[in-house]
Amino acid sequence: QVQLVESGGGLVQAGGSLRLSCAASGRAFSANAMGWFRQAPGKERAFVATINWNGDSAYYANSVKGRFTISRDNAKNTLFLQMNSLKPEDTAVYYCAAYERTFAVGTPIYWGKGTLVTVSS
């Protein structure tokens, strides 16, 4: 059974940092692009960042560019999201996702259950 389990969420003050992790189990994702999405209260789920299969290519939403960094450790089947200079508008449930292909094309085929990040002002 494939599972993506996020961790690292919590409450942080504006300007602070958090590092999210996503542990994958059930199969290896070293050949798959992966990504982070988020859903703020009352809003639809939105793209945050994606990374290709070997980590040498990443894309970010404009709202997080320069503040967030996506990375992966294929040996540990783990995805990360380093979030710096957090703002109250970053408050959301953050979801890890895996794509079918080596690059982030189309809709992810696997999703985690999410981890809540709350940024206080």
The candidate with the shortest Cα–Cα distance to 29, out of 4, 49, 61, 65, is 4
Reported as a single tens digit per residue, the pLDDT across 14-30 is: 999 999 999 999 888 88
Tokens 């080596």 — which residue? 102
CA distance 67 to 23: 22
Tokens 């389990």 — which residue? 5
Q: Is 76 in a helix, a strand, or coil? A: helix
The continuous run of DSSP H or E covering 62 comes out as none
Q: Is the pLDDT of residue 121 over 90?
A: yes
Reported as a single tens digit per residue, the pLDDT across 50-105 is: 999 999 999 999 999 999 999 999 999 999 999 999 999 999 999 999 999 999 88
Tokens 């050949």 — which residue? 31
**pLDDT for res 26:** 87
